[in-house]
């Protein structure tokens, strides 16, 4: 800095320039670069393969004039309330202590607001609670006991979320988890319960091009108590930009968190990629960020991860590390399964 431009003079000149309007008065005047998607939008609901009924319900509500977020949450609630669905909500598989802890997040494109809950116990529909966080608080995420008290204040009931089926899965896992623990082994040859994951991501766009997304899960089965995956993380489990599109994921949450996959997929669409190509590009980034301990000797990941996306025009697509299906419903087309693009064939 020269003698003729002291720090005080520099700051004074900067303040004068700002006052004169040399810089934008509002930060949101600096817009992110985007490919402008012109023309009419096609109403679409796209989701993971465990959501055929939810995408059908979400599209039906959108075509009736419902807000896209309301439609998305009402859609996933079908599975959250289904005791036969072990992936989300009531009947979801518990943590290692036998306690069901649920996660969910949502994002509303038109208002640029988000809400989320993590490690929520005793409440069947975490997606609804996440929406209430979005609508009625200045926060984005509530977790644990605080999230539960928040839900109870709005009239939700504290209920046991373990069904007889999910409890039996947990008891079987506990009996087989190791030869040196304090539990008796089951007879040799007894089929062990696998360690499944279960999640629903649902993204919706209406005819006006307004978008919303929601992701809900019971998380990784037998997880350490308090573990939270990508589902309640805005920008990872799901993300919406009303100028561009919406995206989300199912699969190994930790791997998705490392790349902020929901946000990254939307950013790829912002640059002009199709939804399918955007999902595939995010998977490439995921592999780049995957440590060696999670890769097999054949060079393929030991986990699965799938992304789902829709842009503002209603174009949609999905891609996974391995072959998978997704559910989609669009105006004039009933809910149906479609094949995802993928990177690796299964063994």
User: How many CA within 13 A on the CB side of residue 98?
Assistant: 13
Q: Report yes or no: 313 and 41 within 8 Å, Cβ to Cβ.
A: yes
Of residues 38, 118, 110, 100, the one with CA closest to residue 67: 110
The catalytic residue among 68, 125, 197, 199 is 199
Residue 314: phi and psi, rounded to 5, are 95, 10
3-state per-residue secondary structure call for 154-192 = CCCCCCCCCCHHHHHHHHHHHHHCCCCCCCCCCCCCCCC
Active site residue 217: no
Catalytic annotation, residues? 199
């Amino acid at each position: 800095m020269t003698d003729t431009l002291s720090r005080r003079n520099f700051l004074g000149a900067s303040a004068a320039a700002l006052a004169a309007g040399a810089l934008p008065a509002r930060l949101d005047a600096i817009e992110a670069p985007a490919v402008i998607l012109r023309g009419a939008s096609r109403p679409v609901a796209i989701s993971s393969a465990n959501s055929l009924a939810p995408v059908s319900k979400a599209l039906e509500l959108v075509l009736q004039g419902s807000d896209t977020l309301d439609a998305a949450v009402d859609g996933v609630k079908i599975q959250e309330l289904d005791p036969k669905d072990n992936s989300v909500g009531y009947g979801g598989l518990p943590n290692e202590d036998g306690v069901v802890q649920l996660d969910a997040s949502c994002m509303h494109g038109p208002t640029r607001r988000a809400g989320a809950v993590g490690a929520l116990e005793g409440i069947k529909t975490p997606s609804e609670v996440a929406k209430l966080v979005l609508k009625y608080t200045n926060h984005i995420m509530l977790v644990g006991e605080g999230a539960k008290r928040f839900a109870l204040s709005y009239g939700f009931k504290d209920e046991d979320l373990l069904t007889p089926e999910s409890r039996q899965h947990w008891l079987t896992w506990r009996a087989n988890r190791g030869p040196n623990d304090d539990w008796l082994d089951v007879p040799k040859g007894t089929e062990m319960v696998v360690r499944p994951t279960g999640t629903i991501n649902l993204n919706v766009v209406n005819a006006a091009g307004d978008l919303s997304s929601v992701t809900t899960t019971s998380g990784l089965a037998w997880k350490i108590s308090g573990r939270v995956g990508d589902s309640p993380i805005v920008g990872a489990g799901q993300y919406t930009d009303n100028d561009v599109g919406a995206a989300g994921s199912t699969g190994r949450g930790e791997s998705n968190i490392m790349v902020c996959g929901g946000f990254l997929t939307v950013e790829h669409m912002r640059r002009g990629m199709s939804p399918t190509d955007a999902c595939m590009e995010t998977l490439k980034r995921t592999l780049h960020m995957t440590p060696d301990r999670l890769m097999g000797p054949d060079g393929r990941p030991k986990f699965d991860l799938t992304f789902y996306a829709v842009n503002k025009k209603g174009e949609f697509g999905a891609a996974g590390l391995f072959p998978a299906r997704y559910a989609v419903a669009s105006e004039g087309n009933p809910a149906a399964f479609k094949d995802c693009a993928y990177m690796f064939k299964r063994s």
